[in-house]
Structure formats: structure tokens, C-alpha cells
Amino acid sequence: MKVTKTKLEGALVFEPKVFGDARGFFMETWNYQRYKEAGLDVKFVQSNLSKSAKGVLRGLHFQNPNPQGKLVQILTGEVYDVAVDIRLGSPTFGQWHGELLSGDNNKQFYIPEGFAHGFCVLSETAIFSYMCTHVYDPKSDYSILWDDPELNIDWPINEPLLSDKDKQAPTLSSLKTTSLPKY
């Protein structure tokens, strides 16, 4: 398995080995021991699956308290996936990393606890799979405006389809510091 570190501490890109032939393919999507040896020593407690249409942008979402680390992967389709370091005191606070994930490249992106996360769908549809280190807690759920000018994320989409929650999300700098995780 190939592992690539990003400029954001703890945010990792995994490229699992894929064994394929004319019949199809097989790949291991999670093996605690193998991923621990590769630098990811976490316990996942919830697994989610979503399907979205082209142009949908979900995010930027995070939980505090009870932050969720997420190992994300696309089963079918293609998305541009983004992690933003929002940990107060972090040397990379406010910086982001984007990764193209698809059912063809089989990449996995680990977004650590304390990061905001979002993605936009580039294909006709995308099936998005992710495992989380904490269960979803609606009382801890926050959003940051997807096109926050201070974050300056280079999204490959200009007019996304957004939920009402994401349309009304505040900028990072307008959130109370008590809402943000600490480094």
C-alpha cells in the first residue's frame, strides 16, 4: 500500500493494492494492523454511505466536541475531497488539502479529528463511503461556508448544489473559538 503524507499533519492519502483480472478486482479497504503500520492508528466506530448527484457539494462539516476522524473513499464516480485544519493553535490552521478521489483510482483520504471536511461531485453520480472515529452527534455538528474567502479553497466547481445548512454556514473567522477544536 502506498501512503502519501500531505502538508497537514495527520492527513494521509492511501492507495491500497488492487488485485484484478478479467473477472474484476479485489482490494482490502481496511485492516487495522496494516494501516497502523502505515501510520494510521485509529478505531472506527461508525461507517456511512452516501450517494450524490453531479454538482452537489457537501461541507465543510466538523464536530466539536466529539470530533470525527474520517477515512473516505469513492466506490463509484469521482469527487474532489477537501480537508481543512481548523485546530486552534495548529501551525497549519486554516490551510487545506484537496484530493481527487474516484472509483477508478481507489484512493482513500484520511481526514484527522479536528479538521473540517467537504467534497464536490464531478461525475454524474458518486457513491461515497466513509468510516468515522466517533458517532455522529447533532449537538456537536458545525459547518463552515464552502467558499469562505479566507480559506480560498480551489474548488473545481463554481455553482454547487448545496443544502440549506451549507448555504447558511458561517465563515471560519466568524465562528466562536469555543466552537473550534484545539491542537
pLDDT band, very low/low/confident/very high, at 106 (cuts 50, 70, 90): very high
pLDDT band, very low/low/confident/very high, at 95 (cuts 50, 70, 90): very high
DSSP H/E element including 98: strand 96-102
Q: Does domain 2-179 have CATH number 2.60.120.10?
A: yes
pTM, 2 dp: 0.96
Residue 153 grid cell: 479553497
Tell me the pLDDT tens digit for each residue of 42-78. 999 999 999 999 999 999 999 999 999 999 999 999 9
- Between CA 1 and CA 35 the distance in angstroms is 9
The bridge status of strand 24-27 relative to strand 115-121 is: unpaired
Active site residues: 61, 130
pLDDT band, very low/low/confident/very high, at 31 (cuts 50, 70, 90): very high
pLDDT score of 37: 96
